[in-house]
Structures are given as C-alpha cells and as structure tokens.
C-alpha cells in the first residue's frame, strides 16, 4: 500500500489562525463524534498552531500505544500538573519513566492487591452502614469520597487516622483546582495572590507538611505496614540497589496515586450505578450472583472477585459505555507512519475510548447496556485489540488497572447487597468530558433497600 501524505487526510472547514478551537472547547466529545461520522477513522484538525490527528481505527491505536510507542511522548497536556505532581510516574518520560515504573510496579502485584482488597471491602461496609433508606444523595460525590478514602487507606494505612482530615480537606481543594493547573500559563498564574490561589497554596503547604512528616516517621520505624507507602519507601532499583526513591520522589508519587487513583474509579462506579438504576433486571441478576457467592454477610476478598463474572461484566460494560478516561493523546517525536498515513513530527495524535467503544463495527447494538456480551467468549476473540481500552495500553498502560478492577467489583458487591439507587425525578444526567468523563450535574439518587 503506498504511503499517503498527511495533507491528503480529510479535515473539517476551519477558521484561519484558530483552526477548530472554537468547536473543540465548546464540546470536545461532540466535535470528535461529528468529525468521525463525517470523515471516518482518520481525520486531522488544527487548534491554533498545533496539528492534531484523530484516529478511530483500533489497529492505529495499537501502533500509537504499542508497536510505535517509542516515536511518541505524552506531550504537554500534563505540563502544568508537574507543579503539583513533580516529575512522577504520570508525567515523566523516556528512561526516567521506565526507572520509576520498575520501582513502583511491585506495589501493584497481586499479593499486595489482596491486602488492599480488605481495605476496599471494609471502607465500603462503613459507607453502606452510613446510608439511610429514603435519603437523597449525590452518588457521584459519594463515590468520590469513598474511593478517596480507599486510596488514602491503601497508601498510608491506619497510620493516617489522625491526619486523615487534613489530607482529605487539602486534597479536595487541590482536586477542585486541578483543571486550572492544566492551563497553559499556570506556572505564572499560580503566583497571583488571589483568594483562590492563597487557599490552594495553603492546602498544598499543609498537605506537604503532613506527608513529609509521615514519610519521616516511616523511615525511622523501618517496618513494612503492607500499604503503598511502605512499598514506595522500600522500592529498590534492581539495576542500582542503592538508588531508592528520595523523600521528594515518594511525596510526588503519593500525590500522583491519589489523583490518578480515585476520581477515575469513582466515575466508573457512578456510571455503573446510573446504568443499573435504569436496568433493574441487570441489578437483580448481579445481586443474585453476589448473594450466591458471598452469602449474606461475608466481605469479599480478592479471590472472590474471580467468582463474580457477571458483576465483572457489569463493570466492564459500564466502562465501555462511559469510559472514565475518554481520550488519550500522544505527540509524535519524529516523522512516523500510522497505517498508510504519514504523520509529521510534533503532530498530536488522539484516540477516543468513547468513540471506539461505541462503534457498531466492534460492538453490535453499541448503545445498549448488555453485560452479557462480556460472557460470550467467541465475541471476545474476534474483537480487535484496542476496540476496548479504558486503561490505555503499551508501556504507559494504567499501573492501577488491577487495583481498579478489584476495587470496582468489591465496591459493587458490598453496596449492591444492601442498597439500590433510584434516580431522583427531574434530575438531568449529562456528560462532562474534561480530563475524565463525569456526570455534569452529579448523580442525584434516592437510597432504597435492595
């Protein structure tokens, strides 16, 4: 197949200088849907002076994330986040990223996840016991609180009971501001002494103080608490055993895991409950499986998650329809080809989980919520790799994937045994595609006995 030039790739009509900027910022997901429908699997567009390429063919996603990953970098999108996250796993590149990944990976091994699973189940039981039949809650917010508690406890263990409120309060302020940190001039903007900035700086200062204090205590004590912090402190570079993570690096990785590790899972769970509230037959079937496997009061552990295939299918299907990370992007470091197209150096290639996971070519009746499709083994083998990629792929695949699957299934199991959630009449559910895919107005639900 002859190589086709970049210029031969179709693109929408654009405005001089700004390109498609006016469209993308008013609704990036709608814009992507529209240009894919109109121009197909490979479309280019511009935002000011940047060239973009939207690819919706799973084979091309595989090239970008796996086979040609060395020709790409994550790019500047997360640059502003460095101010807060340092040069940690989420934002580092190249050899430095490989080193960090090697150091942190053991914290996510199966044996460790078994320990975190206990924390997940216990935190959820506490949440479940705190609910009242008939009360109205914002389930999206509740899932955020619950997954934040889970990640705090798995990172720091019960040691943080005292400091938990400082951590939670400060993080809430930081997370509220996180989208601002992604603004192009954030490094400058953050120094303007507005009330908002002062509050943010104070939150960062208190959080750092608490975390460095915890790190200091742990280093003195030198005992393995079975939590993520112990793992980070003990992490040894196989190629250079003397090279441990410094205090600053441990702090940066901890913050990264807090940020990357809770809102994504919270969104996945919120959307799952949204779908279940509209498909009671699915919820009933899921609850039957949970009751059969766990009985009426046993808390699930890691080994139980494998005995809950229907519950897992529900979670998989919810992440297909509402992928918590709905788009992934990479900048080309050099001229490269994707499929039979030339892609010039510096182009930002984007692929949307949302678009590909709604594509009828790979997902018959794509808009329907049908967990059964995950139990049909023949369908799994014929579907192309990267027709489903909620966790990305290649060398930068989500490090927390195993953690997230365990958390999703355990939280669903513990919650579904006691409660179901009924949409509050008149409450609008709309997508809000920012860095993650959230329900725009939250998810107002009434708690009912299951």
CB atoms within 10 A of CB 258: 21
CB of 416 to ligand HEM, least distance (A): 18
Number of residues that bind ligand HEM (CB under 6 A): 24
Bridge partners (DSSP) of residue 85 are: none
User: Helix or strand or coil: residue 88?
Assistant: coil
The H-or-E segment that residue 80 falls in is none
363 vs 389, beta carbon nearer ligand HEM: 389
By CB under 6 A, is residue 403 in contact with ligand HEM? yes
CB 159 within 8 A of CB 225: yes
By CB under 6 A, is residue 388 in contact with ligand HEM? no
User: Helix or strand or coil: residue 444?
Assistant: strand
By CB under 6 A, is residue 99 in contact with ligand HEM? no
When binding is defined by CB under 6 A, the residue of 121, 203, 257, 286 that contacts ligand HEM is: 257
Sites for ligand HEM among residues 310-339 (CB under 6 A) = 324-325, 328
- Tell me the residue length of the chain: 450
CB of 18 to ligand HEM, least distance (A): 26
| Residue whose C-beta lies closest to ligand HEM | 400
CB of 300 to ligand HEM, least distance (A): 17
Beta strands in 108-256 (DSSP E): 136-138, 236-237, 240-244
Sites for ligand HEM among residues 79-98 (CB under 6 A) = 89-90
Binding marks (x or -) toward ligand HEM, 207..246, rule CB under 6 A?
Answer: ----------------------------------------
Sites for ligand HEM among residues 148-207 (CB under 6 A) = 151
- What are the DSSP calls for 236-303, one per residue? EETTEEEEEPPHHHHHHHHHHHHHHHHHHHHHHHHHHHHHHHH-HHHHHHHHHHHHHHHTTTPPP-HH
When binding is defined by CB under 6 A, the residue of 148, 260, 412, 416 that contacts ligand HEM is: 260
CB atoms within 10 A of CB 179: 11
By CB under 6 A, is residue 255 in contact with ligand HEM? no
When binding is defined by CB under 6 A, the residue of 82, 99, 101, 418 that contacts ligand HEM is: 101
* Range 182-204 burial, b when 16+ CB lie within 10 A, else e: eeeebeeebeeeeeeeeebeebb
Residue keyed to tokens 């120094």: 191
CB of 426 to ligand HEM, least distance (A): 29
When binding is defined by CB under 6 A, the residue of 211, 235, 399, 413 that contacts ligand HEM is: 399
Which residues make up the interface to ligand HEM (CB under 6 A)?
Answer: 74, 89-90, 101, 151, 256-257, 260-261, 264-265, 268, 324-325, 328, 390-392, 396, 398-400, 403-404
């Amino acid at each position: 197949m002859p190589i086709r030039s970049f210029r031969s790739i179709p693109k929408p009509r654009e405005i001089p200088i700004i390109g498609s900027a006016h469209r993308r910022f008013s609704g990036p997901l709608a814009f992507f849907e529209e240009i894919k429908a109109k121009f197909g699997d490979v479309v280019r567009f511009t935002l000011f002076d940047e060239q973009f390429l939207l690819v919706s063919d799973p084979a091309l996603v595989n090239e970008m994330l796996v086979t040609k990953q060395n020709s790409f970098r994550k790019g500047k999108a997360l640059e502003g986040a460095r101010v807060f996250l340092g040069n940690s796993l989420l934002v580092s590149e190249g050899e430095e990223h490989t080193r960090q990944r090697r150091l942190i990976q053991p914290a996510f091994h199966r044996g460790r996840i078994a320990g975190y699973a206990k924390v997940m189940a216990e935190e959820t039981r506490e949440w479940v016991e705190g609910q009242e039949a008939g009360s109205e809650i914002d389930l999206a917010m509740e899932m955020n609180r619950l997954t934040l508690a889970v990640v705090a406890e798995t990172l720091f263990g019960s040691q943080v009971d005292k400091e938990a409120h400082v951590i939670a309060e400060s993080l809430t302020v930081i997370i509220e501001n996180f989208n601002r940190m992604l603004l192009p001039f954030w490094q400058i903007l953050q120094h303007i002494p507005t009330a908002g900035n002062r509050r943010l700086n104070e939150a960062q200062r208190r959080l750092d103080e608490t975390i460095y204090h915890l790190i200091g205590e742990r280093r003195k004590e030198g005992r393995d608490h079975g939590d993520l912090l112990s793992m980070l402190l003990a992490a040894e570079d196989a190629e250079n055993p003397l090279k441990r993570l410094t205090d600053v690096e441990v702090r940066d990785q901890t913050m990264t895991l807090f940020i990357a590790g809770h809102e994504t899972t919270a969104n996945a769970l919120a959307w799952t409950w949204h779908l279940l509230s509209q498909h009671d037959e699915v919820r009933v079937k899921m609850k039957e499986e949970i009751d059969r496997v766990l009985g009426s009061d046993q808390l699930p552990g890691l080994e139980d998650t494998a005995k809950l295939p229907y519950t897992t299918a529900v979670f998989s299907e919810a992440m297909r329809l509402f992928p918590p990370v709905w788009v992934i992007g990479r900048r080309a470091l050099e001229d490269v080809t994707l499929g039979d197209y030339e892609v010039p150096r510096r182009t930002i290639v984007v692929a949307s989980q949302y678009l590909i996971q709604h594509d009828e070519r790979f997902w018959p009746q794509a808009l329907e919520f049908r967990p059964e499709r995950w139990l049909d083994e023949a369908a799994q083998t014929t579907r192309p790799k990267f027709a489903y990629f909620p966790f990305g792929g290649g060398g930068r695949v989500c490090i927390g994937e195993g953690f997230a699957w365990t958390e999703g299934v355990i939280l669903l199991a513990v919650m579904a045994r006691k409660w179901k959630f009924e949409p509050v009449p008149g409450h609008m559910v709309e997508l809000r595609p920012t860095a993650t895919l959230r329900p725009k107005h939250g998810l107002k639900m009434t708690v009912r006995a299951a």
